[in-house]
Amino acid sequence: MISDAIETTQCQQKDPVDLFHSGHFVKICAPMVRYSKLAFRTLVRKYNCDLCYTPMIIAADFVRSVKARDSEFTTSKGDRPLIVQFAANEAQVLSDAARIVCPFADGIDLNCGCPQRIHDDLKRTVDLCQKAEATGVSWITVHGRNIEERHQPVHYDAIKIIKQNTSIPIVANGDVKTLKDAENIHHMTGTDGVMVARGLLANPAMFAGYEETPLKCIQDWVDIALEHGTPFTCFHHHLMYMMERITSKQEKKVFNVLSSTSAVLDYLNDHYGV
């Protein structure tokens, strides 16, 4: 809640652009509606995530309603550096939303995503990125798929061309599941950072080099989520994602239909000693 955040976070601003100039590949947690909330951001930061995004927030609602602000945006002292993502189709509304949130964030991202990601005619995408650069944006994240593509391979070659034709940091996004993938994409595209969504849902410890979610990370999620008063559905969904690769079909049948925090805690204790 912004009101609660004032005292703790207002003076902690960090310039995330410095991360890109520090010479190392920046590891970023993507904006994810319903998922990249404070509790999850706290978890991934424990496991080497350099920079986090909030879920997308509708700028007009954020400006208009205190209730929307309190439900859509929560932060804390350790939740830095933080980028707040807005969806907006009017410059003034975006500017108003940015003004409200700026004491509690280190940057603002405008969601230009689905379905305008990369264009079939790559020249148009390069042109758009160059125009964005000319307006003064600090960096651009590119999900290397076009409007029709959902599960097809990511066009890392297109991301590389965008990088070669711009002077600001470019972040690659799409299908990164391990730290090794991230390093390969860095070498393949020459980009300055990598943004991960589903890979981090499945394994919030991936940026620390884990190939699959370690039990310690599950324990950390339980502790952090309970501490933050995370609603049951969100608490449970995250665990389903994290345990997807380490549980059998049979176990999923039982775990995924549990309907209370105490049932989940009992299950984790009985099966994993968590």
Ligand X SMILES: Cc1cc2nc3c(=O)[nH]c(=O)nc-3n(C[C@H](O)[C@H](O)[C@H](O)COP(=O)(O)O)c2cc1C
- For position 204 contacting ligand X by CB under 6 A, the verdict is no
Sign of the torsion angle spanned by Cα atoms 240, 152, 191, 34: negative
Hey, which residues between 45 and 74 contact ligand X (CB under 6 A)? 55-56
Using CB under 6 A, pick the residue from 173, 189, 213, 230 that binds ligand X. Answer: 173
Closest separation between CB of residue 10 and ligand X, Å?
25
Q: Which residue, 110 or 274, is less far from ligand X as judged by CB?
A: 110
Which listed residue (114, 129, 217, 234) is catalytic? 114
- For position 146 contacting ligand X by CB under 6 A, the verdict is no
- For position 214 contacting ligand X by CB under 6 A, the verdict is no
* Residue where the block lists tokens 């652009």: 17
The DSSP symbol for 118 reads: S
Using CB under 6 A, pick the residue from 1, 6, 33, 147 that binds ligand X. Answer: 33
- For position 238 contacting ligand X by CB under 6 A, the verdict is no
Rounded to 5°, the CA angle 206-84-222 comes to: 45
Contact assessment for residue 96 and residue 29, using Cβ atoms and an 8 Å cutoff = no
Interface pattern 107-136 for ligand X (x via CB under 6 A): ----x-x-----------------------
Q: Is 85 helix (H, G, I), strand (E, B) or coil?
A: strand
Q: Which residue, 72 or 106, is less far from ligand X as judged by CB?
A: 72
Q: Active site includes 114?
A: yes
Q: How far apart are CA 132 and CA 168, in angstroms?
A: 10
Provide DSSP, 29-98: EPP-TTTSSHHHHHHHHHTT--EEEPPPEEHHHHHH-HHHHHHH----TT--SEEEEEE-S-HHHHHHHH
Closest separation between CB of residue 255 and ligand X, Å?
19
Using CB under 6 A, pick the residue from 20, 25, 29, 31 that binds ligand X. Answer: 31
Contact assessment for residue 106 and residue 83, using Cβ atoms and an 8 Å cutoff = yes
Site for ligand X, rule CB under 6 A: 30-33, 35, 55-56, 85, 111, 113, 143, 173-176, 196-199
* Catalytic residue positions, numbered: 114
